Amino acid sequence: MTLTLEQQKLAKHLFEAFKDNVPLDQNDYVNVVHDFDTAYEVQDAVMALKNEPTAGYKVSLTSPETQHMFASDAPLYGAQVANRFVKSPYVLDLASYNEPLVEVELLFTAKVDLTPDMSKETLLKNTTVAPALEVPDARFKSWFPKLDKYLVLSDTAVGGAVVSGTPRDGDTLTVDELANVSATLTYDGKQAGQGEGSEVLGNPVASLEWLVAKLAEQDKPFLAGTQASTGTFLLPPRLSAGEWRVDFTGEFGTVVLRVEENK
């Protein structure tokens, strides 16, 4: 597929907005992308301009609620470069982001190459699973929750950063356990949300399964070492300065994100 001149410009502008943190006006890009396949091509062009290997992926629109918000009947994925995967406790400078949100997720890391013929049980056995806070962010002004789904996808599924805690070996877990993991999000000590793994396509492993299959469909391998944050347990609040913390059940522990505003 060959991108049109307007689609090539979109990819270039998305890359520049990522690099310089100067957001775009979504009204300037209405109807530039009309379908998912083209949006993935634009995303690939953005990643090529970053000139860094893809270290992992984030899966978005994994609940009926978020799919409805963006008028989609399927999840989306976005590619991520290595420096966007960081460890808890992490200090984030709000000035380096546009209009970030905060999500509660699980982060899978492949121990071997993952393939679409693997069952959920086999996928879990061949990964580690870590608790995570994701910070989605778009390269557009006033993006949430009204950004066109094809622009969401073109913009690497509004990838920001993924802050992860201590991983557990998938060998020690069952698929059912991950549906039943619950998490409580707090902001400066006050509860800001609560959710369960079952919010993510019924089970976070189902999200990983979808991702591996979707990538294979596009002739992209899911190699050993690749990471994937699989979707939020709860509707994301806006990220603001202070301490964000998420406590997981099921021996997954805690993830801490301190947000500073260094203008």
What does the alpha-carbon distance between residue 208 and residue 204 come to, in Å, rounded to a whole number? 7
- Please state the separation of Cα 81 from the chain's center in Å: 12
User: Torsions phi, psi of 106, nearest 5?
Assistant: -115, 140
Q: What is the pLDDT of residue 226?
A: 98
214-243 exposure pattern, b = at least 16 Cβ within 10 A, e = fewer = bbeeeebebeeebbbbbbbbbebeebeeee
CA angle 139, 44, 205 (to 5 degrees): 85
What does the alpha-carbon distance between residue 198 and residue 200 come to, in Å, rounded to a whole number? 5
Q: What is the pLDDT of residue 131?
A: 98
DSSP state of 35: S
pLDDT in tens, 188-210: 999 999 999 999 999 999 999 99
Instruction: Tell me how far apart the terminal alpha carbons of the chain are, to the nearest angstrom.
Output: 42
Q: What is the pLDDT of residue 71?
A: 82
Q: What averages of pLDDT result for each successive group of 10 residues across the chain (263 residues)?
A: 94 97 96 96 98 97 85 92 97 96 98 98 98 98 94 96 98 97 98 97 97 98 98 96 97 97 78
Q: What is the pLDDT of residue 22?
A: 95
CA-based torsion, 230, 173, 199, 116: positive or negative: positive
Q: What is the pLDDT of residue 72?
A: 85
The packing angle between helices 36-50 and 5-20, to 10°, is 50
